[in-house]
């Protein structure tokens, strides 16, 4: 028995197809990165986008924000950025008299009080500043002056970073990495895609103006919340959940990985699979849905061993091997 009415499934798939189309007006190619970003949005998760400068990481976030009628804020992470620059702070308001007659503290909300937060080049700030997002990403609230202040919903953090071997970067704390639902690696475009990018960004544009003028809002906050609600109703068979658990557990003792994925990685696999199934217009997940999300859901939750690095192996290679060792169920 279907858990989601068929007309709602069709409507959700149409909404997401329209959103994908609008984002595609600005982001040429990178179909996998766009789809994975939409999966994170539908799954009510956060996404970390990694790639060398100039591959469109910021453009992807800007295009997604413009394609939705949601509040948007951007924080440029720098080595001197303070946690209060993100979450907010208290200031003394002399216009109001407190008990001591010297005014009262007024809370000034930071840029995190928005729907879509772009944390640009997040690994250029030290761990103390990066950790300011821990409570935000996990509990969707900020504690200021001992008072918990909820964030608007929907809420999503899109963080971009350059590879860790780039000069002037800091590694993200493991606790923060684990709070990202997906990590997306953006690679260099193909010849045809790069040609299309150059034509789009240089034709009738001055300087480094982003090609966002053609992107039109197509979803509002109510529709996004409805998509997230429908994703939570997508059915997950017990054998498919067991498949996701076995993949995550395989990474914990796989040769070449010094640290495997924890239970939150398994949860991310299933959540992302549910969102992917909804994008395909289905109200149930399959083993293929889980397998498709293995790399983005787990690549930032495992650590490669020094020996594997010396052999030239990558995290994605080891994850593919670990996934291939797990037999998928037949439903």
pLDDT of 194 reads 81
pLDDT at 314 over 60: yes
Render 97-134 in DSSP notation, one character per residue: --TTSS-EEEEEE-TTSSSEEEEETGGGS-HHHHGGGH
**Structure tokens given for 116:** 């879509």
Torsion angle, alpha carbons of 305, 30, 21, 10, to 10: -40
Fold of the 1-189+219-233 domain: Rossmann fold (3.40.50)
Q: How confident is the model at residue 54 (pLDDT cuts 50, 70, 90)?
A: confident
Q: How far is CA 145 from the centre of its chain?
A: 29
Average the pLDDT over each of 57-71, 92-106, 266-280 and give the range with the smallest value.
92-106
More confident residue, 312 or 165: 312
Cα 64 from Cα 57, distance rounded (Å) = 11
pLDDT at 252 over 90: yes
**Alpha-carbon distances of 112 from 74, 132, 291, rounded to whole Å:** 9, 10, 33
Strand partners, 76: 120
What is the pLDDT averaged over residues 207-219? Answer: 78
What is the pLDDT averaged over residues 216-224? Answer: 92
pLDDT > 70 fraction of the chain, expressed in percent and rounded: 92
144 in helix, strand or coil? strand
Q: Which CATH number describes the domain made up of 234-331? A: 1.10.8.80
Q: How confident is the model at residue 166 (pLDDT cuts 50, 70, 90)?
A: low
The domain ranges of the chain are: 1-189+219-233, 234-331
Q: What's the chain's average pLDDT? A: 87
What is the pLDDT averaged over residues 260-273? Answer: 94
pLDDT of 1 reads 44
Q: How confident is the model at residue 12 (pLDDT cuts 50, 70, 90)?
A: very high
**pTM score, whole prediction:** 0.89
pLDDT > 90 fraction of the chain, expressed in percent and rounded: 49
């Amino acid at each position: 028995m279907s858990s989601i009415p068929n007309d709602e499934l069709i409507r959700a798939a149409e909404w997401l197809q329209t959103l994908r189309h609008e984002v595609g007006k600005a982001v040429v190619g990178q179909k996998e990165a766009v789809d994975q970003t939409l999966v994170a949005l539908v799954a009510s998760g956060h996404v970390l986008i990694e790639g060398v400068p100039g591959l469109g990481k910021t453009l992807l976030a800007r295009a997604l924000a413009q394609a939705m009628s949601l509040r948007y804020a951007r924080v440029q992470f720098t080595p001197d950025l303070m946690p209060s620059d993100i979450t907010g702070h208290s200031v003394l308001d002399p216009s109001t008299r407190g008990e001591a007659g010297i005014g009262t503290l007024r809370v000034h909300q930071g840029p995190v009080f928005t729907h879509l937060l772009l944390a640009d080049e997040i690994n250029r700030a030290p761990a103390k500043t990066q950790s300011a997002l821990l409570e935000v990403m996990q509990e969707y609230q900020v504690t200021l002056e001992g008072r918990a202040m909820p964030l608007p919903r929907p809420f999503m953090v899109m963080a971009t970073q350059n590879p860790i071997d780039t000069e002037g970067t800091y590694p993200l704390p493991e606790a923060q990495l684990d709070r990202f639902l997906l990590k997306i690696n953006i690679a260099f475009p193909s010849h045809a895609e790069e040609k299309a990018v150059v034509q789009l960004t240089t034709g009738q544009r001055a300087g480094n103006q982003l090609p966002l003028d053609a992107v039109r809002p197509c979803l509002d906050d109510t529709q996004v919340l409805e998509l997230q609600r429908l994703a939570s109703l997508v059915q997950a068979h017990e054998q498919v959940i067991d498949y996701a658990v076995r993949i995550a557990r395989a990474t914990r003792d796989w040769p070449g990985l010094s640290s495997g994925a924890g239970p939150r990685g398994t949860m991310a696999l299933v959540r992302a699979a549910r969102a992917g199934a909804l994008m395909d217009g289905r109200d149930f997940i399959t083993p293929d849905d889980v397998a498709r999300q293995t790399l983005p859901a787990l690549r930032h939750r495992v650590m490669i061993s020094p020996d594997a690095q010396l052999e030239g192996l990558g995290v994605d290679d080891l994850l593919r091997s670990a996934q291939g060792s797990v037999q998928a169920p037949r439903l």
